[in-house]
Structure 1
Amino acid sequence: MKIVVTGSKGFIGKNLCIMLREHGYQDIIEVDRETSQEMLSQYLCEADFVYHLAGINRPKDDSEFQLGNADLTSYIAEKLKQSDKKVPLVISSSTQAELNNAYGQSKLIAEKAVEQYGISAGASYYIYRFPNVFGKWCKPNYNSFVATFCYNTLNGLDITINDPQAPVTLVYIDDVCASLISLINGDSDSGYKTVSPSYSSTVGDVANLLRSFKASRNNLVTENVGTGLVRALYSTYISYMSPDQFSYSIPSYGDERGVFSEMLKTKEAGQFSFFTAHPGITRGGHYHHTKNEKFLVVKGKALFKFEHIVTGECYELLTDSSSLRVVETVPGWSHDITNIGDEEMIVMLWANEVFDREAPDTFARPL
């Protein structure tokens, strides 16, 4: 299958071409501004499926809207009709097609050309009126406020917000590409299509989230970046990092026993840290009422000791880095850990809550 992608060097096109290849489609013909009209015509004659993503949205003159949106789409539609192959055609339009401005009207004309092609040629056609599409590789200060906000926030530049409460509908580039690729199997009816999920937010809320991402390198508190809009925004935010921004330092606290360092704190699922202990050193000697922890020795040998604070029942457990065994502390049991090896011990630690100096839920009780 020969798949033609116009606008292949643009934001959506670049992501789409990569993901098409990941799905096993290798014969992808990439069309960009350097492609001549003659070559475009030849590619369209060979095409089995066309994604028309090229367009004009930041012209020097409004007349370019007609040429780059309406006329180019009409040309593509006509060439496909002449091929008599009933080639499916997908077009990326905009929610502004509903508005009475030069850009929106040029997109509306392009939509009608695609619809007329599908009907007259008996071919499948798909029209997407994309809202705000965001994700990696979108140009800052071009056609996505999210891209601009990400870049500026990362680099300490001001962002302009006229109305923080202004509503926005957002779709993530991975979801856009997944929707586009799903059309190839031909199971979808022709007509207008939407991307799912879409996210409703405000300009101010997006800006605040990005600020919290930046602050997390200092306070070590991460947002819930594993699902939904926050996941997509965080991935987008870090995609604008330059290589010299890939790393950052975290504080560590050392004494005669070794080093302790917090790595990451969450709002709902505790925190991650690690500590070291020199040979013969014991850490701990306390209990908790509610707080609980998971320890993993990643270097060295450890002896864990436990004592029930009411019954006095005792228990000991040996572990080392060769077994990668997680040891949990249990409320109501005092516990400590001793390095019984000949080398420095390194232990990963997860606690179910972020340490609160005002209410630490940690009570000394040496074993």
Structure 2
Amino acid sequence: MKKIGITGQNGFVGSHLYNTLGLQPEEYERIDFKKEYFEQPNQLDEFVKKCDVIVHLAAMNRHPDPEVIYFQNIELVKQLVASLKRTGSKAHLLFSSSSQEERDNLYGKSKKEGRSLLADWAKENGGTFTGMVIPNVFGPFGKPNYNSFIATFCHQLTHGENPVVDVDGEVKLIYVGELVQEIINQIQTAENKEHYPVPFTISMKVSEVLAKLEHYKKLYFDHGEIPELVTNFDYQLFNTFRCYFDIASHYPVKFKQNIDARGAFVEVIRLGIGGQCSYSTTVPGITRGNHFHTRKIERFAVIKGKALIQLRKIDTDEVLDFYLDGDEPAYVDMPVWYTHNVKNIGDEELLTIFWINEPYNPEDADTYFENV
């Protein structure tokens, strides 16, 4: 079992890597890191001594003064190198540099020089170093106006703002889940690679990305319809977009009931893709679920009885409660990386319809059990 520590553990890429490693506890032990360790040499040394692998992701991306970015990022590298030397570490060190290395800006300069400093440490002290040069990363939970233009667009479209394309350039992109898998692959191979350009998975103009997101807003955010999703990038971008809703206020979404003398007709879901539709009956007091998905799109629709649907993002403590009643049929969609359940809180049998975008495959279930 490899003991892995991640500086920047709570950041965008760091949290995805930390959570993904947690899905394989038999292979990886996660050594927790706190940003305060950079100000506490003894704590930093204790952290370094515990690690077989250190993934250095901590960095500053945005600041009004570019020189602050430069000096901050170099200082973090120097502090890490000093701790590696003090402890005599032989750890495998992975560093996240950026494709901006070759651009004329201080952020790119800080990344290139930081990579060089860490490579020198590995050569001089018998460590293993992987210097990853990473393209533009996007995915769920990135900070708008900080991590990615995609995060900014998603936030704006779901919060009543109108995105504007300043420069419509061609952008090389990688989904955060793909990047995490690339990092894990490099951890497993453990080879010295001073300069390793991580391959991008798609190249697209900024305006083309925005057009897709605007389409998702019109169909899904405004009307609850699942759009046609053809490529892996479509699924990745759509799952990213879904994570920028104000979930607590958006759900539950009430269905339109078409009532006549025969009773009521309700359209549960309209979609441009296939999937699996099923239903469950649940006796009073029983809870179903308590699991999460990392890629699947799922809808719970209560059409009879009273239910409590709960969601919690797996690396947080906040639980979102949604009370649904079959007298006013409604649905809640499950964002990726949110563990969720449904409980019958009424006195009669609960009837719930479930739709998910891919049929259940026990060999690749993308279903991880964790109590809400």
TM-score by length of structure 1 reads: 0.67
Is 1:52 the counterpart of 2:85 in the alignment?
no
Q: Could you say what the CA RMSD is over the residues aligned between the two structures, in angstroms?
A: 3.2
Aligned to 1:139: 143
Aligned to 1:209: 212
Match of 2:194 among 191, 194, 202: 191
- Per-residue deviation, residues 138-197 of structure 1 (Å, max 9, x unmatched): 11122311111111101111212124x421122111112122123332354523335466
Q: Residues 153 and 85 (structure 1 numbering): CA distance in 2 closer, same or farther, change over 3 Å?
A: same
2:14 counterpart SS class: helix
On the 8 A contact 2:175/2:236 being kept in 1, the answer is yes
Moved more, 253-262 or 171-180: 253-262
Q: Residues 197 and 104 (structure 1 numbering): CA distance in 2 closer, same or farther, change over 3 Å?
A: closer
- AA matched with 1:129: V
- AA matched with 1:168: V
Q: Distance in 1 between matches of 2:278 and 2:211?
A: 27
- Per-residue deviation, residues 233-290 of structure 1 (Å, max 9, x unmatched): 111111112221133234343333333333333446699899xxxxxxxxxxxxxxxx
Aligned to 2:70: 66
Aligned to 2:32: 29
Aligned to 1:100: 104
Is 1:40 the counterpart of 2:44 in the alignment?
yes
Match of 2:203 among 200, 203, 206: 200
State, as a whole percentage, how many aligned pairs show the same letter: 28
Q: Distance in 2 between matches of 1:70 and 1:250?
A: 54
Is 1:20 the counterpart of 2:25 in the alignment?
no
Alignment gaps of 5+ in structure 1: 275-297, 300-345, 351-367
1:155 counterpart SS class: coil
Q: Distance in 2 between matches of 1:53 and 1:41?
A: 17
Is 1:261 the counterpart of 2:266 in the alignment?
yes
On the 8 A contact 1:45/1:79 being kept in 2, the answer is no
On the 8 A contact 1:224/1:231 being kept in 2, the answer is no
Q: Distance in 2 between matches of 1:272 and 1:44?
A: 49
| Structure number with larger C-alpha Rg | 1
Aligned to 2:253: 248
Moved more, 177-186 or 192-201: 192-201
Is 1:90 the counterpart of 2:91 in the alignment?
no
TM-score by length of structure 2 reads: 0.66
- AA matched with 1:191: E
- Per-residue deviation, residues 78-126 of structure 1 (Å, max 9, x unmatched): 4324433421111111111111211111111001112222222232211
Alignment gaps of 5+ in structure 2: 280-302, 305-350, 356-372
Q: Distance in 2 between matches of 1:262 and 1:187?
A: 52
Q: Distance in 2 between matches of 1:57 and 1:219?
A: 36
Aligned pairs (5 A) from 1:1-367: 1-24=2-25, 25-33=28-36, 35-38=38-41, 39-163=43-167, 165-195=168-198, 198-217=201-220, 218=222, 221-225=225-229, 227-242=231-246, 243-267=248-272
Count of paired positions: 280
